[in-house]
Structure 1
């Protein structure tokens, strides 16, 4: 199994800082609805996609960075 660095961020500003911090590395980014206290995202598509994304990460090399970005709560995004 490949090894990579995972960075968890919340929102656009944290995501932008993480991208700057890992400049020069291959970055894989996953944007998902924020998770509740039980660790479940409000976004059903995100819940379905995450295992597939995690499976794909088994094939990346250790020079890669995976940025896991929670985009916010559903009421916040509905007002955009």
Structure 2
């Protein structure tokens, strides 16, 4: 299981630096209100899918869950432009795996 780190906004950068050298998976979502409810319907649908997928992440990886703010905040050019977004970084080997590259470029 991956170690999970929860951050908000620009806290993502600091969390990434703290786990430099490890494979990092990151999920960017719209922020939840104080009751834990998200105003982003796509984020609500994506969360259980991502949580299920995390069961297959190898030991030693890091999962950063980043709440990117409400839509007016994250929809600017200086921030994430679409949520939910899921990414992996910390390795360049994905570019060498033709099936993964094909999947990335062919999905809608």
Number of corresponding residues: 76
Greater relative CO (CA pairs within 8 A, separation 6+): 1
Is residue 72 of structure 1 aligned with residue 69 of structure 2?
A: yes
**2:9 pairs with 1, 8, 11, which one?**
11
TM-score (norm. length: structure 1): 0.87
Correspondence for 2:42: 45
TM-score (norm. length: structure 2): 0.66
Question: For the residues of structure 2 that align with 1:25 and 1:64, how far apart are their CA atoms?
Answer: 6
Correspondence for 1:55: 52
The structure number with the bigger radius of gyration is 2
Can you give the 5+ residue segments of structure 2 that lack an aligned partner in the other structure? 77-108
RMSD of Structure 2 on Structure 1 (CA) = 1.2
